[in-house]
Amino acid sequence: MRPYIPKSTFAFCHALLASRLLPTAASPTAPLLSVQALLVTAGLLPRHPDLSLLALNSLLHALSRRAACPAHPRLALRLLRLMLSPTTPPALPAPDHLSFPFALSAAAALDAPPDPSSSSSPSAAGPQLHALLVRNALFPADHYVTTALLQLYSPRPDLARRVFDELPRREAIHYDLLIGSYARAGAPAEGLAVFRAMFAAAAADGVDPDAVVLTTAVAACAQAGALDLGAWVHRYVERAAPGLLADAFLGSALVGMYAKCGCLDEAVRVFDGMPERNAYVWGTMVSALAVHGMAAEAVACLDRMAREDGVRPDGVAVLGALSACAHAGNVEEGLRLLREMRPRYGVMPGHEHYSCAVDMLCRVGRLEDAVGLVETMPMAPLASVWGSVLAGCRSYGNVELAEVAVRELEKLGGTADEGVYVQLSNIYLDANRKDDARRVRKLIGSRGIKKVPAYSAVEVDGEVSSFVADDQAHPRRFEIWEVLRLLADQMTQKPKEEEFIEFVCMLSRM
């Protein structure tokens, strides 16, 4: 005879089991929705409200992390609404201070566009939850809530800054989120100002930077070209917390910062001083060598990884070595590396590896070989591939292939940005096809196509200055133009060595 199990005992076991198993239900095939239906079945959850709330929070957490499927974050917010409505059958436990961070994560997943370049408007769920938290005094009192709210607003630094300024007591993670928010928005200088303010407020807040904050700050230094501040952070860690140099992320950030700021020797010194170097650290070192065009050294690192640290190269490390070959013009070595990725290192070539190889061929004018490689790709070529082909066509004057590349770019994105059509127009002008160039320029104006301008950054006396090509708004533009004129004059005259040294000394006194 089947033993009798009281319904209350079954409910107790069911809630406990759900609270333990739901966080692991992250695979697309997991029966998450059927578990949700079972959880909200009348007669089960209300019997043990404490365990029921634990199970519901686990379900909220699982749904909020399933950002790959838009339906799951929406279900998380719907479940929260049910928990906030006691009159809706079945009656569910009211949310606590742990429920809202999961709901804020779900709102952030809904706000995140699938395409980073998309300008889709954010949903109203975030601001509504923000208002609810203020009304229930959970903001800014609760640490978990404030952290989740900063994460929600991190794509919009102005809103994140407003939340940050309202915090009565700031912690290291709050500084990290705001610095990262500015950096991802292309404003690393503002993020570094927050980092400096962290040290100024250390006495009042009692917060010391941890490895996460320091890593974010060093990455912002690399983005802004702020070598002096990045080196100061390095000295601070060596003096105050030398154990943090063993952190793979902080060490890699320092290696990358020094390399991007032109100090390869310092990057190597940091790398050699790290007690443990994993695949991520080695990949950063390979990329640092690639930035400086040291192809032989970058490729040699792939073998050094296994020999010195027992680390097998991954796709990132191989991509860095390919990029080094592209920068150095070492085409044959790069193509050999692409062929041997799978048999030698066990790494399947991805789209980014083929894209790098195509760019490498286009840089040296082997456009036909580049197109031949595109045709053999096991995956559909994306915009990066055809963008490299178009740039090669501009350098080597191949009009017909440039038209093919633009058509392919239009198929991929519906319409290309202004930079693509400007390149095509310039290719037409170089080929003396003025009517075609004029037609393309009219197309740019009629479609209202815009291109976000790239900018350069340089640090002088601790101050980061950014400027764009033909910058008409830079406060020191006349001095910049005068120095460029002097450089152009000197390059056309081909001065002797002593005259060149005198010229450099004159520039240093300006």
Q: Concatenated DSSP letters for 163-182?
A: HHHT-SS--HHHHHHHHHHH
In a domain, 307, yes or no: no
**DSSP structural state of residue 30:** S
* Contact between residue 389 and residue 359 where contact means Cβ atoms under 8 Å apart: no
**Which is it for strands 456-460 and 463-467: parallel, antiparallel or unpaired?**
antiparallel
In a domain, 42, yes or no: yes
Low-confidence residues in the chain, pLDDT < 50: 1-45, 114-121
pLDDT of residue 115: 45
Identity at 70, one-letter amino acid code: P
In a domain, 236, yes or no: no
- For Cα atoms 497, 500, 504, give the angle at the middle one, nearest 5 degrees: 140
Identity at 57, one-letter amino acid code: N
In a domain, 341, yes or no: no
User: In angstroms, rounded to a whole number, what is the distance separating the alpha carbons of residues 68 and 78?
Assistant: 18
Q: Which of 89, 110, 131 is the last residue of a domain?
A: 110
pLDDT of residue 495: 52
User: In angstroms, rounded to a whole number, what is the distance separating the alpha carbons of residues 322 and 351?
Assistant: 13
Q: Which of 62, 83, 110 is the last residue of a domain?
A: 110
Q: Into how many domains does the chain fold?
A: 2
Give the containing element (helix H, strand E) for 463.
strand 463-467
pLDDT of residue 376: 94
* Contact between residue 191 and residue 153 where contact means Cβ atoms under 8 Å apart: no
Question: Which of 391, 339, 389, 347 lies closest to 368 in space, CA to CA?
Answer: 389
Predicted structure pTM score: 0.74
* Contact between residue 151 and residue 177 where contact means Cβ atoms under 8 Å apart: yes
pLDDT of residue 4: 41
Q: Which of 95, 110, 125 is the last residue of a domain?
A: 110
- Mention every residue, 6+ apart, whose C-beta is less than 8 A from residue 247: 211, 215
Q: What is the mean pLDDT of the chain?
A: 81
Q: Which residue range is the domain that position 475 belongs to?
A: 458-508
pLDDT of residue 481: 80
In a domain, 263, yes or no: no
In a domain, 427, yes or no: no
The CB density around residue 82, as the number of other CB atoms within 10 Å, is 16
- Record the tokens describing residue 43, joined without a space: 């007669």
In a domain, 97, yes or no: yes
Q: Identify the residue whose tokens are 């962290």.
A: 198
- Record the tokens describing residue 310, joined without a space: 């027992």
In a domain, 6, yes or no: yes
